[in-house]
Amino acid sequence: MELQTLAMKDATIVDDGTTERTSYPYVTGTSVIGMKYKEGVIMAADTGGSYGSTLRYKSVERIKPIGKHSLLGASGEISDFQEILRYLDELILYDNMWDDGNSLGPKEVHNYLTRVMYNRRNKFDPLWNSLVLGGVKNGQKYLGMVSMNGTHFEDNHVATGFGNHLARPILRAEWHEDLSFEEAVKLMEKCLLVLLYRDRSAINKFQVAKITEEGVTISQPYALKTYWGFSAFQNPSKGAVGSW
Amino acid sequence: MRQRSIPLAVVSGPIRATNGGGLKASDSFFAGELWGRMAKASVDARTKGGFSFDLYQRNEMLLKKGLQLPKFRKTGTTIVGLVFQDGVILGADTRATEGPIVADKNCEKIHYIAPNIYCCGAGTAADTEAVTDMISSQLQLHRYATGRESRVVTALTLLKSHLFGYQGHVSAALVLGGVDVTGPHLHTVYPHGSADTLPFATMGSGSLAAMAVFESKFREGLTKDEGIKLVSEAICSGIFNDLGSGSNVDVCVITKGQTEYLRNHQLPNPRTYTSTRGYNFTKGHTEVLTTKVTPLKSKKQAAEVDAMEE
């Protein structure tokens, strides 16, 4: 009998014939940005989980290591992200049980995620996430993205959510091959700062993760310095006292 | 649509003017109706303004029956402005779209308001043109009446009041900038009538791409060349990352006493392939196979008619 994995279960069917399916997200994470650099892939996300317009959770880790060679970052519904981590745990476990000296690389994990997302969407029960998958295996860097309807692609730099509108233009103009780690972090922080200013669901608490041939490092959460000292902000009605 | 405001007074929403005290902002939606009745009752010589909502029910009924409203021509746009050490620099792309089609590849989105005040417009092209032209005329008459250079806050107040009165139906999102006696000013005006005073601003569909550039690179006290470069970079970011913006970069530099309108300051989207021989074909390029000349028939003679009865 085929081993039925978690991912293959049907959408929950309740006795009276109705089906429970995801229609809208509840607790959401905002953008994730990823880019390739000289030694591997760097990814960053803030640690906020919003419940509608409330900032409900301020320490949500949205970037996790997968196996030996990959990093997964997710935006969107946090519970669906946690479910995906369970599927991937199972996947990596079965892979390790083969004990054949081979391990799943980022390309394989990306493909698996694409299949899971696409099949869920075809059942009208999507996992409400935009996933960023980055990794290095045998010297090959890999960075890809999967959205909640199964659209997937690979690129030198990716972003989810608001990051597409605010961070991608900066990355398109300033990313180049073989960035050093410091340059990559600087570029990443530039994008994160713009997102902090202009995305209402962003918070000033970021984690930056990097993956190289040696392994994964996820930084401790830290804050960026913001600037509010523009003279126009100090006195907006300077030109006409009493106007609005 | 009813008449617009009279020029000599600095206009605030005509609706408010005739309402007297007591009516809340939320009532202005119906103010057209109420106002209509009041105007008939009063001996008010002031001209009318705002929309008349008399046909609202009929329009809703038609929409339910499946009537297709005509599409607006929008300026899916990137417009920006920033304050530098000597004044204000405005920038805009030059693409006007009608749904998915580019209607105008090289339109002008930086509108003249006064010799020292210019305004970029995003949203419905007709609305931005009409509103800026109107405020420009009002300001000129105001200049004649006062004998002084126009101030940016005057244009701002006129625009805000007008747009608020139309409750967002005039879809004009503007970046207004200029230099007057009180110094350089930069404002954004939204279709519903609110305004902000900012050191740097972007509006339109490409505003996020342009804002990403500004937020990472702007600082106070830029020189003119640095400012023009930053504005061009922001507009290019909009042109290349937003589908609603494209073609060329227009820049307008306003300083005390002088305005430079740099139309098509950058042309980053040239035609990829052009014929080196040009596109003028002189006579003789096409071989003539046959010639047939048909004289135009002369007009038929009018029938003999009697003279008209007195």
- Which of A230, A231, A234, A237 best tests the B interface by mutation, with the highest count of B CBs <10 A? A230
Average pLDDT, chain A: 90
B257 touches chain A (CB under 8 A): no
Tell me if A167 and B212 make a contact (CB, 8 A cut-off).
yes
* Residue B130 CB contacts under 8 Å (≥ 6 apart), including other chains: none
CATH 3.60.20.10 fits B79-266, yes or no: yes
- Sign of the torsion angle spanned by Cα atoms B234, B235, B239, B240: negative
Tell me if A170 and B152 make a contact (CB, 8 A cut-off).
no
| pLDDT confidence of residue A11 | 54
Eight-class DSSP state of B7: S
| pLDDT confidence of residue B45 | 46
* Residue A153 CB contacts under 8 Å (≥ 6 apart), including other chains: A144, A145
Q: What is the mean pLDDT of residues A89-114?
A: 94
Strand order in the sheet with B183-189: B110-114, B117-123, B172-180, B183-189, B195-197
- pLDDT tens-digit readout, B201-235: 999 999 999 999 999 999 989 999 999 999 999 99
- Which of B85, B117, B153, B215 best tests the A interface by mutation, with the highest count of A CBs <10 A? B215
- Torsion angles phi and psi, residue A203, rounded to 5: -125, 160
Helix axes B224-241, B207-217, angle to 10 degrees: 140
A233 touches chain B (CB under 8 A): yes
| pLDDT confidence of residue B254 | 96
- Which of A162, A189, A193, A194 best tests the B interface by mutation, with the highest count of B CBs <10 A? A194
**A161 neighbors A129 (Cβ within 8 angstroms):** no
* Residue B278 CB contacts under 8 Å (≥ 6 apart), including other chains: none
Residue B176 pairs with which residues in a beta bridge? B119, B187
Q: Is A1 exposed, middle or buried (0-12, 13-18, 19+ CB in 10 A)?
A: exposed
Q: Does the structure show a pLDDT above 70 at B173?
A: yes
User: Which of A145-149, A191-195, B14-18, B297-301 has the lowest average pLDDT?
Assistant: B14-18
Give domain limits for chain B. 79-266
Of B271 and B189, more confident: B189
Q: What is the mean pLDDT of residues A114-132?
A: 94
Residues of A in contact with B196 (CB under 8 A): 236
Beta strands in B160-298 (DSSP E): 172-180, 183-189, 195-197, 200-203, 249-255, 258-266
| pLDDT confidence of residue B79 | 95
Q: CA–CA separation, B202 vs B92, rounded Å?
A: 10
pLDDT band at B308 (very low <50, low <70, confident <90, very high): confident
Q: What is the mean pLDDT of residues A207-221?
A: 95
| pLDDT confidence of residue B8 | 42
Residues of A in contact with B209 (CB under 8 A): 165-166, 169
Q: Which helix (H) or strand (E) element contains residue A122?
A: helix A106-122
Q: Does the structure show a pLDDT above 60 at B31?
A: no
Of B185, B196, B241, the CB nearest to A169: B241
Q: Does the structure show a pLDDT above 80 at A25?
A: yes
| pLDDT confidence of residue B15 | 42
Q: Which of B5, B35, B53, B24 is nearest to B169 (CA)?
A: B53
User: Which of A79-83, B51-55, B83-87 has the lowest average pLDDT?
Assistant: B51-55
Residues of A in contact with B151 (CB under 8 A): 239-240
B27 touches chain A (CB under 8 A): no
Whether B47 is catalytic: no
**Distance between B229 CA and the closest CA of chain A, angstroms:** 14
Catalytic residue among B77, B124, B128, B259: B77
Tell me if A198 and B215 make a contact (CB, 8 A cut-off).
yes
A215 touches chain B (CB under 8 A): no
Of A170, A230, A233, the CB nearest to B212: A170
- Torsion angles phi and psi, residue B113, rounded to 5: -115, -45
Q: Which of B190, B194, B160, B156 is nearest to B176 (CA)?
A: B156
| pLDDT confidence of residue B100 | 85
pLDDT band at B142 (very low <50, low <70, confident <90, very high): very high
Catalytic residue among A19, A22, A54, A226: A22
Residue A77 pairs with which residues in a beta bridge? A28
| pLDDT confidence of residue B72 | 66
| pLDDT confidence of residue B76 | 80
Alpha-helix residue ranges (DSSP H) falling in B72-194: 125-146, 152-165
